[in-house]
A and B are shown apart, each in its own frame.
Chain A
Amino acid sequence: AQSVTQLGSHVSVSEGALVLLRCNYSSSVPPYLFWYVQYPNQGLQLLLKYTSAATLVKGINGFEAEFKKSETSFHLTKPSAHMSDAAEYFCAVSDPGGSEKLVFGKGTKLTVNP
């Protein structure tokens, strides 16, 4: 069974500082991996995805993530945080050959301090 672990339910950074949100996965097959962002009372917006192509994936709003098979990780980074980045971030995994169901991590709330 697939699973996702997001280390740190809350992360707080200063505006302009590096953002690092951690995600580790467990999967018996090479997975697809996704990062989504959720603003209060809204649905989820796809930031980026890994689907077995380049291991360094660039997404929207300056975010990127690197797939590291040896570490079973897919951490999300952004060089310089903006106030508008404050939101809930979810990492998710799916089985490419399966039912397309996403298994979500518990989420990480990012706070950006001025």
Chain B
Amino acid sequence: GAVVSQHPSRVICKSGTSVKIECRSLDFQATTMFWYRQFPKQSLMLMATSNEGSKATYEQGVEKDKFLINHASLTLSTLTVTSAHPEDSSFYICSATYRRRGSYEQYFGPGTRLTVT
């Protein structure tokens, strides 16, 4: 149980176009999902917290108009990279909070490799 999927796994787009990445919790409901960005050989950088039914909360330095997050349902959050540029090329990973027995865990998706040409 507690599986999180991401789609697509890889995407190549041209500079100036927009790309949407989906994150789904397959077998549990997640009121909270998180979006991370990971540069090569580096740790994960939290971009934003996605809350079902409300606006996302962005970390300092993350452009909310560039990285649009929509948490449409308890099992789906989307990240849209608008007007992508080569510097947006990165590995994007989502996670979803699974709550049980008074504690919680975050389960991570397999990641999406974005390449902007």
Contacts and interface: CB of A to CB of B under 8 A. Distances in A.
Interface stretch (A21-29, A71-79, A97-105): A97-105
Interface of B: 4, 6, 32, 34, 42-44, 46, 49, 91, 93, 95, 97, 103-111, 113
Contacts of B42: 106-107
B43 A100 contact: no
A43 interface: yes
A90 B108 contact: no
B111 A42 contact: yes
Contacts of B108: 36, 43-46
A51 B93 contact: no
A45 B105 CA distance: 11
B105 A46 contact: yes
Contact of B34 (A49, A90, A101, A107): A101
Interface string A27-50: 000001010100001111110010
B109 A43 contact: yes
Contacts of B105: 34, 46, 49
15 contacts: A32-B103, A32-B104, A36-B108, A41-B111, A42-B110, A43-B6, A43-B93, A43-B108, A43-B110, A44-B93, A44-B108, A90-B44, A100-B104, A102-B95, A102-B106
Interface in A50-83: 51
A43 to B, nearest CB: 4
A49 B43 CA distance: 19
Given A45-B108, A46-B106, 5 more contacts: A42-B110, A43-B109, A46-B108, A100-B32, A106-B43
A30 B16 CA distance: 45
Q: 10 tightest A-B contacts by CB?
A: A43-B108, A44-B108, A51-B103, A43-B110, A106-B43, A43-B111, A104-B43, A43-B109, A107-B43, A104-B44
Contacts of A44: 44, 93, 95, 108
A90 B43 contact: yes
Contacts of B43: 90, 104-107
Interface in A87-114: 90, 96, 99-102, 104-107
